[in-house]
Amino acid sequence: MRKIVFITLLAITALGLKNANAQTGINNNSDWKVPVPSVNTTAPFIRVIVPPTPTMPPMPGVPAVSPIPTLPTGGLMPGVPGSPSIPPGPGANTASNQNGNQGSNAGSTAGSGQQPAAPSFKDTPILPPVPPITPLPELRFPTS
């Protein structure tokens, strides 16, 4: 059947060749009144469609990951607050002043005796205050 169709079309084409000429020689643009001389070679292929990877649906309870980096600039760790200044230790002037002021402070310190000088820990490192940990709401247990 296919061969018959093909041979028939070929025969019609061949028979039409003799009179297939619309040229009149008067520049009537008949050369443009014919089909575009091109053939479809777009897709004589086997095509494998690879679908794009679907985006993962958001899971309940898990915050969505932002494409914008949320880490602080300058490092992964948050900035450590500056250490508080070390209070001055009890020097000689301070001790004499304390002795001089004992009389005036006697009323207020009556019964308590002389207060010992505050110990000085110059070599002890002073840790910064620990920032409070923000409680995660999803980790809260229901209060009974």
Contact 83, 124 (CB under 8 A): no
Q: Which stretch binds other proteins (CB under 8 A): 14-22, 65-73, 100-108, 119-127?
A: 14-22
Other CB atoms within a 10 A radius of the CB of residue 90 amount to 15
- Binding test (CB under 8 A) with other proteins, winner from 31, 60, 71, 73: 31
Q: Is 138 left (phi over 0), alpha (psi -120 to 50) or beta?
A: alpha
Q: How far is the CB of 51 from other proteins (least distance, A)?
A: 7
CA pseudo-torsion sign 40, 42, 48, 52: negative
Query: Binding pattern to other proteins, positions 89-108, x when CB under 8 A?
Result: --------------------
Contact 109, 142 (CB under 8 A): no
- Binding test (CB under 8 A) with other proteins, winner from 33, 71, 73, 80: 33
Q: How far is the CB of 11 from other proteins (least distance, A)?
A: 12
**Rule CB under 8 A: is residue 118 a binding residue for other proteins?**
no
Residue 62's nearest CA partner among 141, 139, 133 is 139
List contacts with other proteins (CB under 8 A). 2, 5-6, 9, 13, 16-52
